[in-house]
Homo-oligomer: A and B are copies of this chain.
Amino acid sequence: MRSPGPPTRPPRRRRLLAAAAELFARWGFDKTSLDEVARAAGVSKGAIYLEFPNKDALFKAVVYRELAHYTRDWLQRFERDDDPFSFVRMFQHSIAAINANPFVKGLMTRDQRIYGSFLQRESELFAMAISLRAELFGRLQELGAMRDDIPAATLAYLISVIGHGLVAGAEAIPERQRVPFEDSLRALGLLLDRGLAPPRPRNRKAVRELLLAMVAQAQAALESHE
């Protein structure tokens, strides 16, 4: 028996994904050619088509890979944190992890430079980010860990656009008045900590456990996806 997932995960596929991730991150979807990817991965161009049906699929696989990385990053930041649970930390870690990953950041801000023409064709990826968040919030509400007088879907949407503003908006603000990313992140955390808190707080330890479990589960799902 083997761990679940498609038949085999040939190393060639990993090398292709790694090479593609690097090139896509640097040059973007449109300006990265499959010839370059093949060369960087040390295989022939034809080999790409033995692993992926087309360029879009390769790119999407890279994004899934990066989403898994992001989730793992988030999880690690969370676990390293001794605070049992608070929205401050949850969002600080989440948005810091988003900001650290160009693909996830680009996904959130619809960065034309990275996603290029892929943007017009694909919407599944964009939808996923929000529904994952909505699901998480719904669970937190059920658990009494988050205010429930606002629908989870609305909160998920709101947090998404706020995150968008935080990572994209920074560039829209004149340098002189910009606030260091960490400062704005902490301030947002403080804001949400109060803004999202339930009327009477629950067992924070249990919430932390649930949260970690959910994130780990999402990460596993993303990784199996490749």
Nearest chain-B residue to A110 (Cβ)? B172
Copies of chain A in the complex: 2
Within 8 A of B (CB), among A138-192: 149-150, 153-155, 157-158, 160-166, 168-170, 172-174, 176-179, 183-184, 187-188, 190-192
Residues of B within 8 A of A196 (CB): 191
Residues of B within 8 A of A123 (CB): 174, 176
The 8 Å CB contact of A165, one of B166, B174, B193, B197, is B166
Contact B158 A188 (CB under 8 A): yes
Contact B165 A163 (CB under 8 A): yes
Residues of B within 8 A of A176 (CB): 123, 127
Is the C-beta of A225 less than 8 angstroms from some C-beta in chain B?
no
Within 8 A of B (CB), among A103-143: 108-110, 123, 126-127, 130-131
Contact B169 A161 (CB under 8 A): yes
**Complex-state Cα separation, A194 to B197, whole angstroms:** 9
* Besides A126-B173, A157-B178, 5 new A-B residue pairs in contact (Cβ under 8 A), listed by A number: A130-B174, A164-B172, A190-B195, A191-B195, A192-B195
Residues of A in contact with B (beta carbons under 8 Å apart): 108-110, 123, 126-127, 130-131, 149-150, 153-155, 157-158, 160-166, 168-170, 172-174, 176-179, 183-184, 187-188, 190-197
